[in-house]
């Protein structure tokens, strides 16, 4: 039985690949313009991204990413287990950095790449930080965190201007963070 999703009609659906982290769904569809085609997309669990901010700067990870064969700067992040996004954010921040935060605020949610995957990302701001146990020693076996770096906001802005932060999900979370700072400054 065909299913309608906005201007799209799904005729058939099947999972063409699955592992513990992702699956690929392939649908036979009728496009909005009337053509019949295949539309495939990635399905994976939601993610949490954390901006750990002490009032003057944030903490970035420099992490080697196998898929792109290079190390890049990112903020702490991870895949959600269950439905308590804040608890997941707290766990990921501690696992990846050893940092704990007394105050948390949800900055927003966004879809990672809605043209070809369903992943939703939840961005959080962690403040009132306890940094006495900073360490990458708690990282999981599939992570390759090389450094945990404290970056003052002036240097972060320079890094952004110079294109030194290349993780798209990190860039989106930082946009929400800078918007939050601007709104907070406007209110005071």
Question: Could you report the per-residue pLDDT of 44-63, keeping only the tens digit for each?
Answer: 999 999 999 999 999 999 99
Query: 3-state class of 84 per DSSP?
Result: coil
Where do the DSSP E strands lie in the chain? 3-5, 8-18, 22-30, 36-44, 47-52, 57-65, 70-74, 77-79, 100-111, 120-130, 145-152
> What is the pTM for the complete model shown?
0.93
| Cα 60 to Cα 24: distance, rounded to the nearest angstrom | 31
31: which 2 tokens? 């496009």
Question: Could you report the per-residue pLDDT of 162-185, keeping only the tens digit for each?
Answer: 999 999 999 999 999 999 999 988
């Amino acid at each position: 039985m065909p299913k309608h999703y906005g201007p799209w009609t799904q005729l058939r659906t099947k999972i063409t690949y699955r592992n513990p982290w992702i699956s690929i769904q392939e649908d036979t569809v009728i496009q909005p313009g009337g053509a019949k085609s295949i539309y495939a997309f990635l399905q994976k669990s939601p993610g949490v991204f954390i901006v750990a901010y002490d009032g003057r700067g944030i903490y970035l990870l420099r992490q080697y990413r196998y898929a792109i064969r290079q190390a890049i700067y990112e903020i702490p992040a991870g895949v959600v287990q269950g439905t308590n996004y804040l608890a997941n954010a707290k766990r990921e921040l501690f696992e990846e950095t050893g940092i704990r935060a007394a105050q948390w605020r949800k900055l927003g949610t966004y879809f990672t790449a809605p043209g070809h995957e369903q992943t939703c990302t939840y961005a959080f701001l962690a403040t009132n930080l306890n940094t006495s146990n900073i360490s990458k020693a708690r990282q999981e076996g599939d992570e390759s965190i090389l450094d945990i770096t404290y970056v003052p906001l002036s240097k972060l802005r320079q890094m952004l201007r110079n294109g030194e932060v290349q993780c798209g999900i990190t860039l989106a979370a930082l946009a929400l963070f800078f918007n939050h700072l601007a709104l907070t400054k406007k209110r005071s």
